Chains A and B, each alone.
Chain A
Amino acid sequence: MEAPEDISIAEAGRRLRDGSLTAVRLARASLDRVAALDGALHAFVLVTAERAMADAERADRELAAGTDRGPMHGIPYALKDIYDTAGIRTTCHSKLLIDNVPAADSVVAARLAAAGGVLLGKLATHEFALGGPSFDLPFPPARNPWDTDRITGGSSSGSGAAVAARMCRTAMGSDTGGSIRGPAAFCGTVGLKPTYGLVSRRGVFPLSYTLDHCGPLSVSVEDAAITTQVIAGFDPADPASADRPVPDLLSRLEDGVAGLRIGLPRNLYRDAEGLSAETAAALDRLAEALAAEGAVVEEVTLPDYALFNACGRVILTAEAFAIHEADLQHRPLDYGELFLMRLLAGAGLTASDLVQAQRLRRELSVAVNRGALRRCDLLLTACALGTAPPFSAYPADRPGPMPVQTMPFNVTGNPALSMPAGLASDGMPLSAQLVARPFEDALLLRAGRTVERITAGWGHAVRPAMAI
């Protein structure tokens, strides 16, 4: 019989409704996996077992009584510990908020609860979603289920570990410079950064107002689409929320890529420090496979990655510095070392730096959206440049490398999707990144589903060592 963690969200929904599965059984299976695996993975900073069982029992009662809240009804999920949860501790993985118990849910938490989801708990993150991996915080860093000596990437580190280890099919992350897509890439899961403005950020602790995005890490593209369909929507209390209809993310998932034009911006990653030959080969192989599916794949040129990175880093640092200014002045030693040094460097930025970064941001957005994505429907580019590095590559007293190329689409706000793309010779997942025009998240997921189908035999579909 199929293990509960192998049942997709859509299939679980069918079985919950025909009576062959219960939400209680799904929740118990998830909690059992957390109990068995999390001692080694540290994906969770808080397991809400009582809440999960209560959610699951309610879902079973409601479905039996004919009350159907939709595709997340009775489905287990978990939240990165920067999402406010009413009455449940939300720490941002930091000593500063170790006793913080919000009075209200974040919008995403509220939407998932209203949709009948089953909350398993709160997930590890880098402190306030920046820096890491760190060993001087209240909780240990999450470890990669494929190899626990390796990082998960960050900052949605627990989300990547939990989904890869099949503790849940979907978990919420946040992405300011790649914090959904990086862990997804290193852990071999799907990771969606939706279009800026599609998902409300209200009640999620901000890192950088104009770069923050909320989105899921999920086992499959369909799981990610179902999750995003539930959490997306206009929120008048989020200043960046887009007042437009939520696209239908599911009905055309299987429509393929025939006739679509896909740009391959090799100039962005070809000469990047840390690009592995296996990553480059996987991208070439994927481009050929997409062409064989009927897409028109052609090389395009984007501005240099260094420009996107500088623009994003300066804006991120300036905005995060403003958010944390008072605590940096009055209680700096309550921060972990890596977060502190990343933010203190913000004192060296000038007002002119921030304005110049914003001017550059507009130029880069125009180059992506009125250049490459005017001609092409999608972009295919690198996500992680190689496989997950070992913890030993990260000294405790200074930031180490985070070999991903995700920042460009935080700067521009385009939707971007990290997809597994086979296994490297070290047995770790490789990845690729798809990018679409703003608010064409449905097309992005449709292309992702095609990638998922054509790469199904490339090796990453095997279970990671810690998830067997």
Chain B
Amino acid sequence: MAAAMGRAGLTIPPGREAGLRETWRELQGMRALLRNGRPAAAEPAGTYVLDTVTRDPA
């Protein structure tokens, strides 16, 4: 956590490490859920345009 914070140019304010560590762990735990073995061609086209996001899959 400290290394990632340093890379981002951030410092942990005094007294706030415990709370930050908890939210950090929670968010890190979600990263695995994003990865489901989808094929390379499964691209995130049209993230910003709902009509495209919801079009019929090919």
Contact B50 A438 (CB under 8 A): yes
Contact B13 A345 (CB under 8 A): no
Which A residues touch B53, using CB under 8 A? 361-362, 365-366, 412-413
Roughly how many angstroms separate A332 CA and B14 CA in the complex, as a whole number?
11
| CB contact between B43 and one of A359, A369, A412 (< 8 Å): that residue | A359
Which B residues touch A342, using CB under 8 A? 23
B19-56 with Cβ < 8 A to chain A: 19-20, 22-24, 26-28, 30-31, 33-36, 38, 42-48, 50-51, 53-54, 56
| CB contact between B36 and one of A313, A360, A398 (< 8 Å): that residue | A360
Which B residues touch A345, using CB under 8 A? 20, 23-24, 26-27
State the majority secondary structure of interface residues on A.
helix
Contact B16 A340 (CB under 8 A): yes
Contact A397 B18 (CB under 8 A): yes
Roughly how many angstroms separate A310 CA and B38 CA in the complex, as a whole number?
16
Knowing A242-B50, A344-B10, say if A366 contacts B4 (CB, 8 Å): no
Knowing A345-B23, A349-B27, say if A362 contacts B46 (CB, 8 Å): yes
Q: Which of B1, B12, B27 has the most CB of A within 10 A?
A: B27
Contact B54 A438 (CB under 8 A): yes
Residue A48 at the B interface, CB < 8 A? no
Contact B23 A195 (CB under 8 A): no
Which A residues touch B51, using CB under 8 A? 438
Knowing A313-B27, A328-B10, A361-B44, say if A341 contacts B16 (CB, 8 Å): yes
Which A residues touch B7, using CB under 8 A? 347
Contact B24 A313 (CB under 8 A): no
Which A residues touch B48, using CB under 8 A? 210, 239-240
Roughly how many angstroms separate A262 CA and B21 CA in the complex, as a whole number?
42
Residue A307 at the B interface, CB < 8 A? yes
B18 CB to nearest chain A CB (Å): 7
Which B residues touch A344, using CB under 8 A? 5, 10, 12, 20, 23-24
Residue A44 at the B interface, CB < 8 A? no
Knowing A242-B50, A332-B10, say if A353 contacts B34 (CB, 8 Å): yes
Knowing A340-B16, A341-B16, A341-B19, say if A348 contacts B24 (CB, 8 Å): yes
The chain A residue with its CB closest to the CB of B38 is A359
Contact A362 B18 (CB under 8 A): no
Residue A392 at the B interface, CB < 8 A? no
Knowing A313-B30, A360-B36, say if A210 contacts B16 (CB, 8 Å): no
Question: Using an 8 Å CB-CB cutoff, how does the interface string of A313-335 with B read, 1 for contact, 0 for none?
Answer: 11001000000010011001100
Which A residues touch B47, using CB under 8 A? 210, 358, 361-362
| CB contact between A358 and one of B11, B12, B19, B44 (< 8 Å): that residue | B44
Question: Using an 8 Å CB-CB cutoff, how does the interface string of A352-370 with B read, 1 for contact, 0 for none?
Answer: 0101111111110110011
Which A residues touch B15, using CB under 8 A? 397
Residue A197 at the B interface, CB < 8 A? yes
Residue A186 at the B interface, CB < 8 A? no
Contact B24 A329 (CB under 8 A): no
Which A residues touch B56, using CB under 8 A? 370
A117 CB to nearest chain B CB (Å): 28
A148-199 with Cβ < 8 A to chain B: 195-197
Roughly how many angstroms separate A412 CA and B52 CA in the complex, as a whole number?
11
| CB contact between B35 and one of A349, A356, A399 (< 8 Å): that residue | A356
Which B residues touch A353, using CB under 8 A? 31, 34
Contact A314 B34 (CB under 8 A): yes
| CB contact between A357 and one of B4, B12, B34, B57 (< 8 Å): that residue | B34
Which 3 residue pairs are nearest across A and B when measured between Cβ atoms? Answer: A358-B44, A310-B30, A356-B34
